Amino acid sequence: YLPLRDMQGRKKEKGIDVLMALETYELCLHKRYDVVVLVASDSDHVPLVRKLHALGCKTMLLGWDFEFTDEESGQVQTTKTSIDLWNEVSYPMGMHDLVEEGLKEDDPLYREMFVMRDSSRD
Protein backbone atom coordinates (compact mmCIF):
# COMPACT_ATOMS: atom_id res chain seq x y z
CA TYR A 1 0.00 0.00 0.00
CA LEU A 2 1.28 3.40 -0.88
CA PRO A 3 -0.10 6.27 1.15
CA LEU A 4 -1.20 9.10 -1.10
CA ARG A 5 -0.94 12.78 -0.30
CA ASP A 6 -4.05 14.90 0.17
CA MET A 7 -4.48 18.51 -0.99
CA GLN A 8 -2.46 19.76 2.00
CA GLY A 9 0.40 17.36 1.29
CA ARG A 10 -0.39 15.02 4.21
CA LYS A 11 -0.17 11.30 3.61
CA LYS A 12 -3.51 9.51 3.82
CA GLU A 13 -4.59 5.92 3.38
CA LYS A 14 -6.18 5.75 -0.08
CA GLY A 15 -6.65 3.07 -2.65
CA ILE A 16 -6.54 0.19 -0.18
CA ASP A 17 -9.66 -1.48 -1.62
CA VAL A 18 -8.24 -1.32 -5.14
CA LEU A 19 -4.86 -2.67 -4.04
CA MET A 20 -6.53 -5.47 -2.07
CA ALA A 21 -8.66 -6.37 -5.10
CA LEU A 22 -5.64 -6.44 -7.43
CA GLU A 23 -3.56 -8.55 -5.04
CA THR A 24 -6.44 -10.96 -4.46
CA TYR A 25 -7.15 -11.31 -8.17
CA GLU A 26 -3.47 -11.97 -8.92
CA LEU A 27 -3.16 -14.60 -6.19
CA CYS A 28 -6.29 -16.39 -7.45
CA LEU A 29 -5.05 -16.14 -11.03
CA HIS A 30 -1.89 -18.00 -9.98
CA LYS A 31 -3.98 -20.56 -8.04
CA ARG A 32 -2.64 -19.53 -4.63
CA TYR A 33 -6.15 -19.42 -3.11
CA ASP A 34 -9.08 -21.82 -3.32
CA VAL A 35 -11.38 -19.58 -1.28
CA VAL A 36 -11.15 -15.85 -0.58
CA VAL A 37 -12.77 -14.63 2.63
CA LEU A 38 -14.10 -11.08 2.62
CA VAL A 39 -15.02 -9.13 5.73
CA ALA A 40 -16.96 -6.39 4.03
CA SER A 41 -20.38 -4.81 3.77
CA ASP A 42 -20.64 -2.73 0.61
CA SER A 43 -21.39 -3.66 -2.97
CA ASP A 44 -18.08 -2.21 -4.19
CA HIS A 45 -16.68 -5.74 -3.85
CA VAL A 46 -19.22 -7.38 -6.20
CA PRO A 47 -17.06 -6.93 -9.36
CA LEU A 48 -14.10 -8.55 -7.58
CA VAL A 49 -16.26 -11.48 -6.48
CA ARG A 50 -17.47 -12.00 -10.06
CA LYS A 51 -13.92 -11.95 -11.42
CA LEU A 52 -12.74 -14.42 -8.77
CA HIS A 53 -15.60 -16.77 -9.64
CA ALA A 54 -14.60 -16.55 -13.32
CA LEU A 55 -11.15 -17.80 -12.26
CA GLY A 56 -12.72 -20.70 -10.36
CA CYS A 57 -11.99 -19.23 -6.94
CA LYS A 58 -14.81 -19.47 -4.40
CA THR A 59 -15.68 -16.59 -2.09
CA MET A 60 -16.89 -16.39 1.49
CA LEU A 61 -18.43 -13.30 3.03
CA LEU A 62 -18.33 -12.72 6.78
CA GLY A 63 -20.96 -10.05 7.23
CA TRP A 64 -22.48 -8.42 10.29
CA ASP A 65 -25.89 -6.74 10.37
CA PHE A 66 -26.53 -4.95 13.64
CA GLU A 67 -27.73 -1.80 15.37
CA PHE A 68 -25.96 0.20 18.06
CA THR A 69 -26.31 3.50 19.84
CA ASP A 70 -23.59 6.02 19.11
CA GLU A 71 -22.20 7.08 22.50
CA GLU A 72 -21.45 10.63 21.39
CA SER A 73 -24.68 11.50 19.58
CA GLY A 74 -27.09 9.06 21.22
CA GLN A 75 -28.36 8.18 17.73
CA VAL A 76 -29.20 4.60 16.80
CA GLN A 77 -26.93 3.49 13.95
CA THR A 78 -27.54 0.52 11.65
CA THR A 79 -24.92 -1.52 9.82
CA LYS A 80 -26.20 -3.76 7.03
CA THR A 81 -24.35 -5.81 4.44
CA SER A 82 -25.23 -5.21 0.79
CA ILE A 83 -27.85 -7.64 -0.53
CA ASP A 84 -26.00 -7.70 -3.87
CA LEU A 85 -22.83 -8.81 -2.09
CA TRP A 86 -24.69 -11.46 -0.05
CA ASN A 87 -26.21 -12.86 -3.25
CA GLU A 88 -22.96 -12.93 -5.22
CA VAL A 89 -20.58 -14.84 -2.92
CA SER A 90 -20.24 -18.63 -2.75
CA TYR A 91 -20.54 -18.83 1.03
CA PRO A 92 -22.48 -16.01 2.71
CA MET A 93 -22.01 -16.20 6.47
CA GLY A 94 -24.15 -13.90 8.58
CA MET A 95 -21.91 -13.56 11.61
CA HIS A 96 -24.72 -11.87 13.54
CA ASP A 97 -26.73 -15.12 13.21
CA LEU A 98 -23.77 -17.34 14.09
CA VAL A 99 -23.06 -15.28 17.20
CA GLU A 100 -26.69 -15.48 18.33
CA GLU A 101 -27.60 -19.02 17.24
CA GLY A 102 -24.34 -20.93 16.79
CA LEU A 103 -23.22 -23.16 13.94
CA LYS A 104 -25.84 -25.66 12.74
CA GLU A 105 -24.19 -28.94 11.72
CA ASP A 106 -27.01 -29.91 9.38
CA ASP A 107 -26.81 -26.71 7.34
CA PRO A 108 -25.84 -27.73 3.77
CA LEU A 109 -23.79 -24.55 3.33
CA TYR A 110 -21.46 -25.52 6.17
CA ARG A 111 -21.34 -29.21 5.19
CA GLU A 112 -20.25 -28.20 1.68
CA MET A 113 -17.65 -25.79 2.99
CA PHE A 114 -15.54 -28.12 5.13
CA VAL A 115 -13.98 -31.53 4.59
CA MET A 116 -15.45 -33.88 7.18
CA ARG A 117 -13.04 -35.78 9.39
CA ASP A 118 -12.89 -39.53 8.75
CA SER A 119 -13.80 -41.08 12.12
CA SER A 120 -12.50 -44.50 11.01
CA ARG A 121 -8.96 -43.11 11.16
CA ASP A 122 -9.18 -42.29 14.89
Q: Please provide the DSSP assignment of 51-112 as one string.
A: HHHHTT-EEEEEE--EEEE-TTT--EEEE---HHHHHHSSEEEEHHHHHHH---TT-HHHHH
In a domain, 5, yes or no: no
In a domain, 87, yes or no: yes
In a domain, 25, yes or no: no
Per-residue model confidence as pLDDT tens digits over 52-108: 999 999 999 999 888 889 888 999 999 899 999 999 999 998 887 776 776 676 777
Instruction: Please provide the average confidence, as pLDDT, over all residues in the chain.
Output: 84
- Total count of domains within the chain: 1
Containing domain of residue 89, as a range? 35-114
In a domain, 17, yes or no: no
Residues 50 and 88: their CA atoms lie apart, in Å, by 7
Q: What is the model's pTM?
A: 0.71
In a domain, 120, yes or no: no
Q: Quick one: pLDDT at residue 15?
A: 66
